[in-house]
């Protein structure tokens, strides 16, 4: 595989679009169409990546403008390339300092806020941007204790790159579901927090390592030189292959826990 890129690899991420789509749709299923029909309001897709979900939001909620926000030029370029619907637009922005241009009726975010340290403290501010009845809908992986993620640190310690990777953090831990509930409750008329563990079906060579290469493993790969990146990846890939064996039918099951939050502004 190509491991030279040190930015978000949109192509690698899209390779796993199907496995990652399901939680995005499960989250979308809890959105109230009445919010999408509020005149003068927009649906925001925060951390929109290549815009796959932004486009589905627009299809699912005809009438509402959908605005995707992301900090990665590469992802935004891909998103613009792939989007023909004039109702969907994209803008560069850092979620840590999000300020909507148009008032939001729905703030939707799939698999992005885990990248922001201290994200829990940002959620009350997001609720305050919404009108009464508006919705905040967030999905984040909560899999950082699983072997796929624990082995990143183990591989980081297991080679000549150890000193270089000593200070590298992966995604910031997504905390206990009850903490999100407590923080959002004072702002919410309705609040749902739940978790689902998906038994993801992967195939091909190094399926789990390939999967995490475009997300959680990325900060480790970015910290290394081109010469180090391959051997580090191989070390990690070998470790995860032992933790997630490929079955006789060629399938590798990759259980993955995700946290969902849907809060309706009081």
Ligand X SMILES: C[S@@+](CC[C@H](N)C(=O)[O-])C[C@H]1O[C@@H](n2cnc3c(N)ncnc32)[C@H](O)[C@@H]1O
| Residues in contact with ligand X by the rule CB under 6 A | 8, 20, 24, 47-49, 52-53, 70-72, 75, 94-96, 110-112, 115-116, 215
Query: Which residues 6+ apart lie within 8 Å of 237 measured at CB?
Result: 206, 209
Q: How far is the CB of 107 from ligand X (least distance, A)?
A: 13
* Nearer to ligand X (CB atom), residue 95 or residue 261: 95
Q: How far is the CB of 127 from ligand X (least distance, A)?
A: 18
In whole angstroms, give the CA distance from residue 138 to residue 193: 10
- Hey, is 99 helix, strand or coil? coil
Q: How far is the CB of 45 from ligand X (least distance, A)?
A: 7
Neighbours of 205 (CB within 10 A): 10
* Nearer to ligand X (CB atom), residue 161 or residue 217: 217
Angle, in degrees to the nearest 10, between helices 73-82 and 52-60: 40
* Nearer to ligand X (CB atom), residue 182 or residue 195: 195
In whole angstroms, give the CA distance from residue 213 to residue 233: 9
* Nearer to ligand X (CB atom), residue 21 or residue 191: 21
Query: Which residues 6+ apart lie within 8 Å of 167 measured at CB?
Result: none
Q: How far is the CB of 144 from ligand X (least distance, A)?
A: 14
| Selection from 240, 170, 230, 211 nearest residue 3 by Cα | 230
User: Would you say 90 and 76 are in contact if contact means Cβ atoms under 8 Å apart?
Assistant: yes
Chain residue whose CB lies nearest ligand X: 49
User: Would you say 67 and 91 are in contact if contact means Cβ atoms under 8 Å apart?
Assistant: yes
Q: How far is the CB of 43 from ligand X (least distance, A)?
A: 13
* Nearer to ligand X (CB atom), residue 161 or residue 262: 262
Q: How far is the CB of 72 from ligand X (least distance, A)?
A: 3
* Nearer to ligand X (CB atom), residue 180 or residue 211: 211
* Nearer to ligand X (CB atom), residue 49 or residue 134: 49
Burial of 7 (0-12, 13-18, 19+ CB in 10 A): exposed
Q: How far is the CB of 251 from ligand X (least distance, A)?
A: 23
């Amino acid at each position: 595989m190509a491991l030279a890129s040190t930015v978000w690899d949109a192509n690698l991420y899209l390779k796993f679009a199907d496995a990652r789509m399901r939680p995005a749709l499960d989250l979308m299923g809890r959105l109230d169409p009445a919010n999408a029909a509020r005149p003068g309001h927009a649906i925001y897709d925060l951390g929109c990546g290549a815009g796959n979900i932004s486009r589905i939001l627009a299809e699912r909620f005809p009438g509402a403008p959908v605005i995707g926000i992301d900090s990665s030029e590469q992802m935004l370029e891909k998103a613009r390339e792939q989007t023909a619907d004039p109702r969907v637009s994209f803008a560069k922005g850092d979620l840590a300092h999000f300020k909507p241009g148009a008032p939001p009726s729905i703030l939707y975010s799939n698999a992005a806020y885990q990248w922001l340290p201290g994200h829990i403290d940002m959620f009350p501010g997001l609720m305050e941007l919404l009108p009464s009845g508006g919705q905040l809908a967030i999905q984040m992986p909560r899999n950082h204790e699983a072997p796929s993620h624990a082995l990143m640190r183990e591989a980081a310690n297991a080679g000549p790159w150890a000193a270089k990777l000593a200070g590298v953090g992966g995604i910031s831990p997504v905390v206990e579901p009850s903490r999100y509930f407590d923080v959002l409750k004072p702002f919410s008329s309705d609040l749902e927090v739940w978790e689902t563990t998906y038994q993801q079906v992967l195939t091909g060579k190094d399926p789990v390592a390939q999967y995490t290469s475009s997300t959680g493993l990325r900060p480790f790969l970015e910290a290394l030189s081109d010469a180090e990146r391959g051997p580090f990846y191989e070390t990690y890939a070998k470790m995860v292959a032992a933790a997630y064996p490929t079955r006789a039918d060629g399938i590798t099951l990759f259980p993955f826990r995700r946290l969902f939050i849907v809060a309706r502004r009081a």
